[in-house]
Structure 1
Amino acid sequence: MNDLALHGFSLRGILLSRFWGRLVSLLILFVVLPVCQPGVTSMRSASAAESRELQKIKQERQAVEANLNSLKKQLQEYQSKLNSTARKQKQSQRQVEGIRKKIKVLGKLISENQRYLKVLDRDIGRLQGELQSNRRVYGTVSDGFSRTAVSVYKNARNRDVGRLFSAGSVNEVLVRVHYIGFFSRAVHHDVNKLQVAAAQLESSRAELEKSYRAKAAAVKDQERQLKNMAASRRAEERALAKLKKEREADTARVLEARRKRRLLQKRIEGLILAEQKAIEAENARRAARMAPAGRPAPAAGKAVAGRAVPPPPDSPELLRISADFDKAVGQLPWPVSNGRVSQRFGPFKDKELNIVTTNNGIDISVPVNTPVKAVSGGKVAKIAFMPTFGHIVIIRHPKAYLTVYANLGSIRVAQNDLLSSQQVIGASGKNPDGGSIVHFEIWKGRLNQNPEIWLRK
């Protein structure tokens, strides 16, 4: 019975052994056969994969170029609008100032014309008085002359003859004849003179009245021009006020963008400082553990016997996964593919607003949701979030180097994660004004570096 049981067990073992053998053989065939396919098939697959990759890169490049062109167009439109607003404001100011000067000169001209009209009024009144006086004199002389003429006409011949014959001598007769002729000529001369004076005064009065009417019409026209210019000035001042408000709004937007950038940089600097303090504390603890018993360990970086004590070496895992930044100048990959630098490292001046702003890193233009990758292996040291700039990720590398990635719409890493080079840490976010910008920084200790020096050309 035991032999039968043992025999049955052996039989089952043999069957199971054969079953598993065949199963393993089949698995080997399924695994090995695809590898051992003809070379032509492998080459075709590789070529197709390469073609797809090239097509993907081409599409990404086109998307980046389109995004960059859109951002450049927006920047040009904004700058053009700002410049146009400034030009219009200056032009309106010049026009308003010109109108004010014209109004001032016109006001003086009107005042002078009004003063001149008053002088003309006095002259016209004086001439009218003289004219009336001359008319009275003329009337008196005319009346006397008329009476004399009538009397002479009636009896002048007998009277003159009587006077002549009543003379006592011939000389007296001649004298009387002379004076009678002189009197007659004098009367005629005075009458003619008064007539000429009256005609001249009448002509002067008519000319003055004509000039007065012309000046009065000119004053009315100037007053109308003054009213029109005042209306134009009010319109120009309203336009100037509108342009001023637009310029103030544009300036406020620019200053707000500058303020937000400063907030981002201040936040990053705070995170960098906190991380550097954490590194220093970690190095100090490591040095304390490695110090001989009974002897206090020197603080990392403090001088001992006239020499600077170097900090303890980085962890083996960090050295294993990260590049040596001191030797990686110009060799690190870019954090995004096919991006374009839209704002470089360092200070830059806005010529229109005369404002200098400093960029602690570089801004890279990319399409929205572009994968953002670590430029080198490292350890996620800090993760933060800002409403305006999205997620911020700081990665620690050996020799106190840190890399910063900001403006991320989403992240795929957590604090203390170990990352390999080119591992995706997140995706670019969308800017409020459109497009997408990835902000990238490199720090060594507490000193920010120019990232473009380390990135591949």
Structure 2
Amino acid sequence: MFSQTRQELEAQRILLKEEINRVNKLLFTAQKNEKNALEDLKDLNQKIEVREKLIATIDKEAKAITREINSNQKEIDKLSKELEVLKKDYAEMIFKSYKSKSRQSRIMFLLSSTSFTQAYKRTQYMNQYAAFRKKQGEEIGVQTQKISELNKVLRDQKKSKDTLILSEKEQKAQIELDKKSKEGLVTQIKRKEQQYRNEIKIKQREEAVLSAKIDKIIKDAIAKSNANKGTTKNTGFALTPEAKALAASFEKNKGSLPWPVDNGLVVRRYGTQAHPTLRGITITSTGLHIATNPNANAKSVFNGTVLAIQVLSGGKKAVLVQHGNYITTYNNLENLYVETGDKVVTGQVLGKIFTNKVTGKTILIFALHKETQRQNPSSWILKR
């Protein structure tokens, strides 16, 4: 906790607020034809989770400011004590100088010297004394300025802390409202729990069938590339020098690939995971499920070639783009702007993402393979 600076916490708080805005915009403003308590609860849980992270971050940031305030207050107290000593010494110096001038002038002090050397030393002494007094006066000015600046910083810090505390109270009040809504949804789900469980199983089977089809397309493409090279070795793509260079470039960009949508929110992670709302159910996701705006387009995350187009149930489509020995898949499209064999570049529009008229959501399923091995897309795209 303490390894994070206040600047890092502030940046994290801003990102979480942006994520809450995306959650509200992409999950809660969609025009739904039917109410689905299970979907609504999943969305609400995601909003609550992000808001809880925001509250925790605000709390850490407020504590960091408190530590800064305490540190600055100690520094002000220390400087104030030093300033008092400086002022006291300076006052005594001025008083002694005044008394000295009242008894004899500087000229008489010099003329009373018994030798030239003594007169010279007395001149040096008087100059040094005057310079020291001037320096003391300047130090008082500098110290006073430091305290003034620290006091201003302190006021700003206290103001920032008060603002954060108010924001935290607002977030906590909102989360209580969300939790009350959650209780109502849980009650509704319990009445139709078996129906929801059956629907989840059907969707999981459909995703498994699609995944198997994509795996076959990749395996066939690997076999074809090897056949063209006159070999039966099918452990991986037989790549041309150009394709090897593309794959190497793709690998170098791991963690910094652009998102396949302009504005997106991950609503389901990659891999095997517990169902977000129903206990005892495990779901497997072959890619990232990314919610985006209605009428949004899917975009290629890197230069490549359209390997294949898969037509799914209901007329929905999936586009596979090959980047050397890497394959990215863009699933749940309704209109396509590319064809098999097309060369594409980073950011090129591939197709329009399907919007579910029942849920009102626009979801892109983004998957990534190296040869036939599935990869976690979250490790490859930019962190948000």
Q: Are 1:343 and 2:268 counterparts?
A: yes
Q: Are 1:75 and 2:75 counterparts?
A: no
- Out of 242, 267, 270, the position equivalent to 2:210 is 267
Q: Are 1:421 and 2:327 counterparts?
A: no
**How many angstroms does 1:258 deviate by?**
3.9
- Out of 233, 246, 266, the position equivalent to 1:300 is 233
**How many angstroms does 1:65 deviate by?**
4.7
Runs of 4+ aligned structure 1 residues displaced above 3 Å come to: 61-65, 69-82, 318-323
Q: Which amino acid aligns with 1:273?
A: K
Flag the 1:257–1:323 CA change in 2: closer, same or farther, 3 A: farther
Question: Could you tell me how far apart the structure 1 residues matched to 2:336 and 2:237 are?
Answer: 32
Equivalent residues in 2 for 1:123-162 (5 A)? none
Equivalent residues in 2 for 1:153-232 (5 A)? none
Question: Could you tell me how far apart the structure 2 residues matched to 1:332 and 1:381 are?
Answer: 19
Question: Normalising by the residue count of structure 1, what TM-score does the alignment of the two structures yield?
Answer: 0.43
Q: Which amino acid aligns with 1:444?
A: K
Tell me if the contact between 1:336 and 1:371 (Cα under 8 Å) persists in the aligned partners.
Answer: yes
**How many angstroms does 1:320 deviate by?**
7.0
**How many angstroms does 1:407 deviate by?**
1.2
Q: Are 1:256 and 2:199 counterparts?
A: yes
Question: Could you tell me how far apart the structure 1 residues matched to 2:321 and 2:334 are?
Answer: 17
Q: Deviations over 1:292-348 (max 9, x none)?
A: xxxxxx53357xxxxxxx8632363x5677773322210111100120101111112
Question: Could you tell me how far apart the structure 1 residues matched to 2:287 and 2:359 are?
Answer: 21
**How many angstroms does 1:264 deviate by?**
2.7
Question: Could you tell me how far apart the structure 2 residues matched to 1:362 and 1:264 are?
Answer: 12
Q: Deviations over 1:219-258 (max 9, x none)?
A: xxxxxxxxxxxxxxxxxxxxxxxxxxx42xx432343244
Question: Could you tell me how far apart the structure 1 residues matched to 2:334 and 2:237 are?
Answer: 36
Question: Could you tell me how far apart the structure 2 residues matched to 1:80 and 1:269 are?
Answer: 38
RMSD: 3.1
Q: Are 1:283 and 2:216 counterparts?
A: no
Max Rg structure: 1
Q: Deviations over 1:13-54 (max 9, x none)?
A: xxxxxxxxxxxxxxxxxxxxxxxxxxxxxxxxxxxxxxxxxx
Tell me if the contact between 2:335 and 2:352 (Cα under 8 Å) persists in the aligned partners.
Answer: yes
**How many angstroms does 1:388 deviate by?**
4.9
Tell me if the contact between 2:218 and 2:371 (Cα under 8 Å) persists in the aligned partners.
Answer: no
Q: Which residue of 2 aligns with 1:433?
A: 359
Question: Normalising by the residue count of structure 2, what TM-score does the alignment of the two structures yield?
Answer: 0.50
Tell me if the contact between 2:306 and 2:320 (Cα under 8 Å) persists in the aligned partners.
Answer: yes
**How many angstroms does 1:444 deviate by?**
1.1
Q: Are 1:312 and 2:204 counterparts?
A: no
Tell me if the contact between 2:289 and 2:365 (Cα under 8 Å) persists in the aligned partners.
Answer: yes
**How many angstroms does 1:395 deviate by?**
0.9
Quick check: which one's helix share is greater?
Answer: 1
Question: Could you tell me how far apart the structure 1 residues matched to 2:43 and 2:234 are?
Answer: 49
Flag the 1:339–1:300 CA change in 2: closer, same or farther, 3 A: same
Question: Could you tell me how far apart the structure 2 residues matched to 1:268 and 1:76 are?
Answer: 25
The higher relative CO (CA closer than 8 Å, separation ≥ 6) is in 2
- Any idea what SS the aligned residue of 1:352 has? coil
**How many angstroms does 1:371 deviate by?**
1.6
Q: Which amino acid aligns with 2:225?
A: E
Q: Are 1:390 and 2:316 counterparts?
A: yes
- Any idea what SS the aligned residue of 2:359 has? coil
- Any idea what SS the aligned residue of 1:409 has? strand
Q: Are 1:360 and 2:303 counterparts?
A: no
Q: Which residue of 2 aligns with 1:332?
A: 257
Flag the 1:301–1:264 CA change in 2: closer, same or farther, 3 A: closer
Flag the 1:75–1:86 CA change in 2: closer, same or farther, 3 A: closer
Flag the 1:251–1:436 CA change in 2: closer, same or farther, 3 A: farther
Question: Could you tell me how far apart the structure 2 residues matched to 1:397 and 1:451 are?
Answer: 14
Tell me if the contact between 1:321 and 1:421 (Cα under 8 Å) persists in the aligned partners.
Answer: no
Tell me if the contact between 1:322 and 1:377 (Cα under 8 Å) persists in the aligned partners.
Answer: no
| Gap runs ≥5 in structure 1 | 1-60, 88-245, 289-297, 303-309
Q: Which amino acid aligns with 2:42?
A: L
**How many angstroms does 1:275 deviate by?**
2.5
**How many angstroms does 1:63 deviate by?**
7.4
**How many angstroms does 1:410 deviate by?**
1.3
Flag the 1:75–1:311 CA change in 2: closer, same or farther, 3 A: closer
Counting aligned pairs with the same residue, the percent is 26
| Gap runs ≥5 in structure 2 | 1-19, 31-38, 45-180
- Out of 373, 376, 381, the position equivalent to 1:450 is 376
Q: Which residue of 2 aligns with 1:84?
A: 187
Tell me if the contact between 2:338 and 2:351 (Cα under 8 Å) persists in the aligned partners.
Answer: yes
- Any idea what SS the aligned residue of 1:452 has? helix
Flag the 1:315–1:418 CA change in 2: closer, same or farther, 3 A: farther
Question: Could you tell me how far apart the structure 1 residues matched to 2:182 and 2:220 are?
Answer: 42
- Any idea what SS the aligned residue of 1:425 has? strand
Flag the 1:84–1:449 CA change in 2: closer, same or farther, 3 A: same
- Any idea what SS the aligned residue of 2:341 has? coil
Tell me if the contact between 2:304 and 2:345 (Cα under 8 Å) persists in the aligned partners.
Answer: yes
Question: Could you tell me how far apart the structure 1 residues matched to 2:312 and 2:182 are?
Answer: 27
Flag the 1:315–1:378 CA change in 2: closer, same or farther, 3 A: farther
**How many angstroms does 1:361 deviate by?**
0.7
Q: Deviations over 1:135-180 (max 9, x none)?
A: xxxxxxxxxxxxxxxxxxxxxxxxxxxxxxxxxxxxxxxxxxxxxx
**How many angstroms does 1:79 deviate by?**
6.5
Tell me if the contact between 1:391 and 1:407 (Cα under 8 Å) persists in the aligned partners.
Answer: yes
Q: Are 1:374 and 2:300 counterparts?
A: yes
- Any idea what SS the aligned residue of 1:331 has? coil
Q: Which amino acid aligns with 1:67?
A: L
